[in-house]
Amino acid sequence: MQYRPLGRSPLSIAPLVFGGNVFGWSVDEARAFELLDAFVDGGGNLVDTADVYPAWVPGNRGGESEAIIGKWLQKSGKRDRVLIATKVAKWDQHPGLSPINIRAAVEGSLQRLKTDRIDLYFAHQDDASVPMHETLGEFARLIGEGKLRAIGASNFSADRTVEALAVSKAYGLPRYECLQPEYNLVARAGYETELEPLVREQELGVTCYYALASGFLSGKYRSAADLAKSSARGGAAKRFLNPHGLAVLVALDDIAAAHKATPAQVALAWLIARPSVTAPIASATSVAQLQELLGAMQLNLGGEEIAALDRASAS
């Protein structure tokens, strides 16, 4: 497995990240353990979660995903084989990016994860009510204490990312080393227009979410009737069920057939091949599904195939 540097941080990651948002939602603890074991055994090394995951599930409070990962870390003994990414700011228990909130959120995440360090810690969303030097200053203290190794920004605009990088430089504070935007074959414009030039200029890492567009790019949803196949994902995939989205599926089908691969593998391989992307995030609910996704790391697309996908997905 060829690992990739994450920005200018000390971290290197495999070209596919496991999304832990499904733990405590569509994946129970026992299945989560199986998936995490299979992910690490298949060459993966970064697991992405957040303190808020999955608070949207009836009966949940939030923190369930971290707790499941923590139990797996304790039981498996694989802490030194994986990197853990989690986030702060979106959970109503620890909202925003004030120093006092960040510290409380980090301590809570460490406790649930049953670990002494978080490898990659994201500001889950921007918080303009807090001066950036205060937010970054608290991250610096936590890095100094060994509780965080690197920091990232999720759902930040390009302008605010530029501002954060300038503050880091001016105050001698750690910088956001990784961005986490939405990016996939049917949602390209926002990232490519606003963030990608900055990513390349500043040598930032990128772990993009919705890599399979809520499952749409797996080819599972091709008609309105198909949306009922998944109560969890069908509604979110509906926005891509249009002529543009269907044209992308046709291109994926053609390339998948040529490689004896699946549309999901091709969609992930396209992201993996993007020079500015460190690794897409994808989740799975079965070991078979995970094995399919891991196969994307071994799928090398030709230049003409990438160009064909670029044309089909251009907005």
Distance, C-alpha 298 to centroid of its chain: 19
- Residue located via tokens 């199986």: 34
Tell me the β-bridge partners of 47. 18, 84
d(CA 217, CA 207): 18
**Residue 210 known to be catalytic:** no
The active-site residue out of 53, 183, 209, 221 is: 53
d(CA 150, CA 207): 14
Residue 99's nearest CA partner among 62, 59, 72, 139 is 139
Tell me the β-bridge partners of 153. 123, 179
Task: Give the DSSP letter string of 191-209.
Answer: IIIIIHHHHHHHT-EEEEB
Phi and psi, residue 168, nearest 5°: -55, -45
Q: Which positions are catalytic? A: 53
